[in-house]
Structure 1
Amino acid sequence: MSVDHDWSELPPELLDTIVNKLINLRDYLRFRAVCSNWRSSTPATPKYLPCQFPWLMLPKNRSNRRGFFNLLDNKLHFLNLPEASNRRRRCGSSHGWLIIVDESPSIFIINPLTKVTFNLPPLSQLPNVVNFDFYSVGREFTIQSPDGEVYTRNLKEMRDLFIKKVVLSNSPSRDPNFIAVVILNETGELAYCKNGENSWKFIDEARFFAEDVIYFDGLFNAVHKLGSIAVCDVSGDSPRVSFIETPRQIGGDIQYLVKTNDELLLVTRCLELDTDAAYHQLDVVYKTVEFRVFRLVLEGPRWEKVDSLGEKMLFLGENSSLALLASDFPRCEGNRIYFTDDYCEANYDGVNGNHDLGYYNLEDGRIEALSCYPRNSHSMLRWPPPIWFTPNPC
């Protein structure tokens, strides 16, 4: 004789045991959708889900819907996201939040899943902006360079070109005292603000050409083109900066910092002209040909070459660099570097850039296309280029 079971009547302690074993956001959402009892027994925003596999946020279309491609299941997910419309530009992805510059010219961060937003100081409050004329044609900014030269930029140029990347110290929903650090594209200077502040401040002692910045062990670490590191403590009233000078000149065209376990990795990306590109008539067409990985050894200090990442997968681009373990996800392999196109010299207009993305196998040096974008599929990409986004419901 069969016995009917009412799954909605499972005791709360058993539901709690089950939900604490879920590691995938999709499974968590499906669990809450079973019935009202299961939904009421679990919070809408889970507190203990591990870091999720990144989605690839695709270029804009004419609507308010934005596409996010999940490499794990080869599926495209759409989110209604007018906050990232055509008149706005995103300049970073950090801890599951997007950083957006709009036409006003405000800067804000948004969680695409929850739609929670936080405002950051606007472009006009960057310390090297000496004047902003909102009512002029093009809304003109007056900028002062580090050597004292004064020049102007219109709003579109400021929105699309002035900021290279914004990195957060933590998810704003987890830490209301989060700090944001911005890399300025033209000079590589670093500026920061704490949540709730009205203006950006330069990290004066670290005013060199920063290639990337990452929050590591409670401090912001910025890397110079040649591999030296500025370690920035901006938690107090005034920034404190120390430097790690390394004898090895790393080389390469683009540098990234990645935190993994208790180590700091430096990844350098090498580009070359792509003479076989489908759009051979373009003036600048490039492709990634190699990645080199180094770990920071404080004794010395020095950068030590890493020949294998083991189970680690790295995700690089305009996002805050991320390292994950392949064993935490189905059908994934380690020792790979997943990359998007963030070559600032060419990716502004969407004609010369945006096509250079894929994954690099550190074992044999092969570069493979992502399933959503065949290699050199220029016609499929528009500005801005895709960016890695880590879904975070809290």
Structure 2
Amino acid sequence: MEEGTRKRPWSDLPPEILSMIGNRLCTRMDVLRFRSICSSFRSSIPAPRPWFPFRIPRVERSTLFLKKTTVYALETPGGAATGPGRARWLLKLEETELGHMRMLSVFSRWRIRPSPRKFPMTFDFLQYRIVELCRGYFLDRGIGGLGQRYWGWWSDQNIFGLNAVMHPDCCVWSDLDQCSVYFIDEEGRLAYWKYGDENGSLVDDPKGGFYEDIAVYEGEVCVVDKLGSVSQLDSSFRLRSISAGPCGFHGGDYWKHLVVSSGDLYVVDRHERSFRTPEFRAYRLDRQCGRWEEVSSLGNSAFFICDDCSFAVAAPEFAGCKGDCIYYKDRRSCWTPSPIENFLVFGLAERTTQVGGRLPGGRF
């Protein structure tokens, strides 16, 4: 900058430039932060539209609503920019019908109320840095609800909405008429509803279903069945197998969870016998060979196994978070509402489980 040249404030940017910047933002939180800077920024783009929950057309005896939850990393003021001193919260929010947000349990869909002690009641987005980690979707029979999974009806079949996904996943400026909703019904079959269709449909599947989790990986919808086999859904709503199942646990109760971490797709095998502490195994998908490889270490990553969407974080970025661990909530307490979350931590290398402590709204 030449001597005598006056530094201009950001608010002096031409409206057309501000509009170009704002329209390139993808998430609701980014838009809200952008609009909170000053009146010039706020007037350059409209407020994000409250999409969720939105109504799925009435089928037989039930009206269904698609709901959305988002997990954020919230960096508190005064936290170090990098390193173990970084002060961060894990925060899970649900969009409501009025465009407001409410805080939910990180691991389940229970609303956290009252708010945890010492948790800030208001957030200044100019002081708090917030980063979106993952989005989760689920079908509900009512707008209000407790956030549980409810029974409904779909093409004369009883459904139990599990971990629904939207594809393509919408940014804040996307049009809903470009999206489809995919979910697993209560019999483990894969169903979909394309925006504008009068009814939903079951995916033509010769295997008959038995799917346990659904996720979007590399822009494609993927589902995992009870044996760990993963299939991909193409644009014509046809399933294509991309890997056989791993040699996982047998006997007792076991569940499969899909997790995307550092560009790789993992399946986490959760096994429970009676009232014993669950065990876990993790497998990484080798796309070239079309097979699963069991991993003995997750490195610096920590996996969170949740109802809406399981996800991974870089443990060094969260004070108190341990790498090479799987964080989860005991299924026996997953429907117990509480403002303080008790969770368990499974060390993959040591194959031991510890009580993780208390997660007040998501803080380590």
TM-score, normalised by the number of residues in structure 2: 0.58
Deviation per residue, 1:356-377 (Å, 9 max, x gap): 843434344343335237xxxx
2:184 is aligned with 1:197 = no
Query: Contact 2:71–2:135 (CA<8 Å) still a contact in 1?
Result: no
The alpha-carbon deviation at position 67 of structure 1 amounts to 3.6
Question: Counterparts in 2 of 1:342-357, with a 5 A limit?
Answer: 343=331, 357=343
How many residues are paired up? 283
Q: Is the 8 A contact 1:68 1:78 kept in 2?
A: no
Which residue pairs with 2:91 in the alignment? 55
The 5 Å alignment of 1:91-102 reads 96=135, 98-102=137-141
Residue number in structure 2 paired with 1:367: 354
The residue number in structure 1 matching 2:296 is: 307
- TM-score (normalizing by structure 1): 0.54
Q: Distance in 2 between matches of 1:329 and 1:260?
A: 16
Matched with 1:379 is none
1:209: Cα distance to partner?
Answer: 0.8
Kept in 2: contact 1:8–1:35 (CA 8 A) = no
1:264 aligns with 2:265: yes
Q: Distance in 1 between matches of 2:103 and 2:309?
A: 20
Aligned match of 2:228: 227
How far off is 1:191 after superposition? 0.7
Superposition deviation, residue 103 in structure 1:
4.6
From 166, 169, 179, the counterpart of 1:168: 166
How far residue 164 of structure 1 moved from its aligned partner, in angstroms, is 3.1
Match of residue 309 from structure 2: 320
Identity fraction in percent: 25
Residue 119 of structure 2 is aligned to residue 75 of structure 1: yes
User: What is the CA-CA distance between 1:44 and the residue it aligns to?
Assistant: 5.1
Summarize deviations over 1:226-264 as a string: whole Å, max 9, x none: 22222222x22x524335224624446111011234321
Please say if 1:293 is aligned against 2:282.
yes
* One-letter amino acid of the counterpart of residue 268, structure 1: D
For residue 317 of structure 1, report the CA deviation from its aligned partner: 1.9
Quote the offset at 1:39 in angstroms: 4.0
CA RMSD of aligned residues (A): 5.1
**Structure 1 counterpart of 2:155:** 127
SS at match of 1:334: coil
Tell whether the 8 Å contact from 1:183 to 1:189 is kept in structure 2 after alignment: yes
Unaligned runs of 5+ in 1: 59-63, 80-93, 110-121, 130-142, 144-157, 275-285, 374-385, 389-394
- Seen in structure 2, the aligned counterparts of structure 1 residues 321 and 179 have a Cα distance that, compared at 3 Å, is farther
Q: Are the aligned partners of 1:56 and 1:69 in contact in 2 as well (CA < 8 Å)?
A: yes
- Relative distance call for 1:56 and 1:291 in structure 2 (3 A) is farther
> What is the deviation of 1:315?
2.4
Asked if the contact 2:179/2:195 (under 8 Å) is kept, the reply is yes
Q: Is the 8 A contact 2:11 2:38 kept in 1?
A: no
Change (3 A) 1:269 1:247: closer
Distance 1:34 1:69, change over 3 A: farther
Between the aligned partners of 2:213 and 2:357, the Cα distance in structure 1 is: 24
Letter in 2 for 1:102: R
Task: Give the corresponding residue for 2:243.
Answer: 244
1:358 aligns with 2:344: yes
Q: Is the 8 A contact 2:248 2:281 kept in 1?
A: no
Name the amino acid aligned to 2:348.
Answer: L
The answer on whether the counterparts of 2:283 and 2:295 sit within 8 Å (CA) in structure 1 is yes
